[in-house]
Structure 1
């Protein structure tokens, strides 16, 4: 299937809104994970305590539990999707302000609880964003719309990580979180200006229907357990390697927060290049070859951090490692989003997308404390080599299920995956 013309994409109001909304989706994730980790490292918390803080991301794993509520209940303003988008976006903004006011000095437990609340609101925002994106975009637009969304999302991650690290060195952590809360607030304007969804759908008549029908459809499929394991394992090695990456750069190698921030900023261009390369390759290769190839690239990028651990405090090795990780991560994310889209039934996108993406978040959320113990037992170089090994089962499973993945998408989904 031919890709949607780029000129029409640039002039398309529906796709144009994917960029700011994707940005709003990605910003809170970094501020409750890697950037929070850097803040805790700078104030002197031990590695095991920092590992526990990765549990802050638990709502991203459990968001499928309340996704049916957001499908069932319609706010009294802006409709079922945009109404919830407005409420949750305001909540995330206020939560980031609360994190800034709480601070990490001597009150780490209160900061952790506030971060959990922000993660809950952010996960809820993601649920509605995913449903809105599917309802808004026409079938021919969904692939490019998802690609634009991913670029906005990744750009936000870099702003909230590299930008925050550099800013924190100049104005302090609490002021940095206040600035980023202000940036998050600008997304409210995008929600208010965003167009109404193309496909409004009919809300479920009851909560039982909202919960039961999507699950029955999903688990009626053959090989569903293997498909769920693929979702769980595909990004696992990447998640383990990233779980303590900032602590490795700052605490393990002795780089300053500004050093790390500047290098991650350079990684922005690598991310955009990786997303572009991934989109072009997927249009030619298709979903399954892209999953396998990009998964291998992701796995191999973890070995760069093994080399960095051996090299020590080398700015050249740090830059190369981050650039390679961003390129391969952008490609792998594009393939992974296409995979989840291909597995969703359009009638139940909100709940099924939340369920499947929650499985991916398991590795990111629960890998922190075990990773800290593993680093203590074997050291940084061996830890990243183990993360490389953990990435391989997901690649193998994608290849094993190639026939099932190729037969699953309908005509629209094939076009989405090709376009992405």
Structure 2
């Protein structure tokens, strides 16, 4: 397959300056800005405004759109936007709408004082999460469609690099700006208004990029059902009713799951496990009710059955048809590839604090130096993937991720040693960036051009679902066995990933999509 062919170093480094690669650097920056404005930066703002810690943590739910973006990804694959579609094309029209939504949501948050109207801030944060997740869907689809498999590794690397730069802008940048406009030790809303306004302005990098780049030229399968305006309206009505059903079911399911959690905890089960079981039941009820409503809308004729089939079922069927039994191996690999990194990463900041490092040391080494090492690792992963092939670097990334976790175990034994801290962060972030670049390129090669947004959204949701669930028990494990054995354990659970990479490589041949595709420089 072309994505795994060995290429010269000249070709590998030459990919750096390809216009599509440079485009992904700027779009990655656009994607990296919103996430911290919902998480850490917003958390600091809310605490300064006097919001209690438990309420602050609830705001992380505003980013749930990232985990469920596969729900509306098919709309982006199928629905053309009026007027804009004819001017900008399918991908760029959706991208400009998403970026406009992000800018509006950031300004909405900046103009809202959480000390006076916390509910309005919550709505603005949810709007930002939804718009940002939508932008991610479009950028992923654009990246896959804009270039052949040869460039996917470098485009993934550029995207990761830009994403990390965006996080620096929205993290350190926003905090610095807010600090310049407020007196030390006092909360002043206008300082955060200025900071978030600057972040909205920074998003113009993405908008300008979207307007300047060319639309990917792809040949897709013609739709059998989407022809008239009424079809789109009916489909959107079905989607809206399904979302409302999910929300209502999630609210009222608590009357069942909350007593279940209490009963399990009173019965001797650890609170983390009882909470996970209750949460799983709540999610299952919500999803089941949403599916029921979607089914009923098709039965009563609100939405043609064929339209739902083409939008939601066909992408899954296409993947299974193309890979057969090997699809199980591929999905297993996707689901556990980042398990060592994610499970360990949840406890990282707590570990640094418990070991005795100051906030300044953690910020300088882990956050700042570590981010640059991740950017370097992502570009290294891109170059090596072009030179030696994606699958080989996929294996190397998984191996290094497991090995670097063992370094944390040594670090736990040494105590607060700054030199060791720097070495471990450098190794961990370089390997993480390398592995992520290769993994994104691998996932891109699995998609079919006819279902790009939907299939990649499913893959990206699966890749963090199980590791994040397992990571929820990290604190309990550390309390039971200590940091050293915990880190060794995270390395051990990464070993089966190596076997899955080898097995997936034997069973599959990830090529360019079957439909013909060309990309303009």
Interval of TM-score (by shorter of Structure 1 and Structure 2): 0.7 to 0.9
Once the two structures are overlaid, the 10-residue window that deviates more, 7-16 or 357-366, is 7-16
Q: After superposition, what is the alpha-carbon deviation per residue over 1:170-211, rounded to whole angstroms, capped at 9, x for unaligned?
A: 667835444333322332121122212222646633442122
- Give the direction of change, closer, same or farther, for the CA distance of 1:377–1:314 in structure 2 (3 Å limit): same
1:247 to partner: Cα distance: 5.2
| 1:302 corresponding residue in structure 2 | 405
TM-score after normalising by structure 1: 0.81
Distance in structure 1 (CA, Å) of the matches to 2:449 and 2:126: 30
TM-align CA RMSD: 3.7
Match of 1:194 in 2: 213
User: Does the CA-based 8 Å contact 1:301-1:325 persist in structure 2?
Assistant: yes
**Cα contact 1:99–1:114 (8 A) shared by 2:** yes
Q: Could you tell me how far apart the structure 2 residues matched to 1:327 and 1:70 are?
A: 34
Q: Which residue of 1 aligns with 2:90?
A: 80
What corresponds to 2:389 in structure 1? Answer: 286
Residues 313-338 of structure 1: CA deviation (Å, up to 9, x unaligned): 54434333322222011111112112
2-side partners of 1:110 and 1:242: how far apart? 32
Q: Helix, strand or coil for the counterpart of 1:74? A: coil
Deviation larger for 158-167 or 70-79 = 158-167
Query: Is 1:212 equivalent to 2:313 in the alignment?
Result: yes
Residue 364 of structure 1 and its aligned partner are, at CA, apart by 6.4
What residue number does 2:160 align with? 150
Aligned length, in residue pairs: 411
5+ long unaligned stretches in structure 2: 183-190, 227-306, 515-521
Distance in 2 (alpha carbons) for counterparts of 1:100 and 1:372:
34
1:260 CA displacement: 0.6
Rounded Cα–Cα distance in structure 1 between residues aligned with 2:172 and 2:481? 28
Q: Quote the offset at 1:16 in angstroms.
A: 2.5
**What SS class does the counterpart of residue 358 from structure 2 fall into?**
coil
Structure 1 pair 190/282, CA: closer, same or farther in 2 (3 Å)?
closer
Once the two structures are overlaid, the 10-residue window that deviates more, 140-149 or 172-181, is: 172-181
For the 8 Å contact 1:26–1:157, the answer to whether it is kept is yes
Among 430, 452, 455, which residue is 1:349 paired with? 452
**Pairing partner for 1:61 from 67, 88, 99:** 67
Q: Does the CA contact (< 8 Å) of 1:34 and 1:246 recur in 2?
A: no
Match of 1:92?
102
The answer to whether the Cα contact below 8 Å between 2:107 and 2:197 also exists between their aligned partners in 1 is yes
Helix, strand or coil: the match of 2:203? helix
Change (3 A) 1:265 1:277: same
Matches within 5 A, 1:7-86: 9=15, 12-33=18-39, 35=41, 55-75=61-81, 76-77=83-84, 78-86=88-96
Cα distance per residue 1:329-387 (max 9 Å; x no partner): 11111121122022212222211111111111325654664345555555555544443
Q: Does the aligned pair in 2 maintain the 1:60–1:361 contact within 8 Å?
A: no
Partner of 1:408: 509
Measured after TM superposition, the shift of residue 11 of structure 1 is 5.6
Pairing partner for 1:320 from 413, 416, 423: 423
Summarize the Cα distance change of 1:49–1:345 in structure 2 as closer, same or farther, 3 Å threshold: same
Secondary structure, aligned partner of 1:196: coil
Deviation at 1:159, TM superposition (A): 3.7
Mapping of residues 125-164 of structure 1, within 5 Å? 125-138=135-148, 140-161=150-171, 163=173
Shift of 1:243: 2.9
What CA distance in whole angstroms lies between the structure 2 residues aligned with 1:235 and 1:136?
A: 26
Measure, in 1, the Cα distance between the counterparts of 2:115 and 2:474: 25
Residue 360 (structure 1) aligns with: 463
Distance 1:385 1:184, change over 3 A: farther
Indicate how the Cα distance of structure 1 residues 300 and 169 shifts in structure 2: closer, same or farther if over 3 A, else same: farther
The residue that corresponds to 2:198 in the other structure is 179
Q: 1:240 to 1:171 in 2, by over 3 A?
A: farther
Q: Name the SS for the 2:90 alignment partner.
A: helix
Query: After the TM superposition, which of the residue ranges 275-284 and 7-16 deviates more from structure 2?
Result: 7-16
Counterpart residue number, 2:331: 228
Q: Report which stretch shifted further, 205-214 or 110-119.
A: 110-119
In the alignment, structure 1 segments of 5+ residues that lack a partner are 414-420
Contact 1:168 1:176 in 2 (8 A): yes
Distance (Å, rounded) in 1 between the aligned partners of 2:42 and 2:488? 25
- Relative distance call for 1:412 and 1:215 in structure 2 (3 A) is closer
CA deviation after TM superposition for structure 1 residue 408, in Å: 2.0
Output the CA distance in 2 between the equivalents of 1:38 and 1:314. Answer: 28
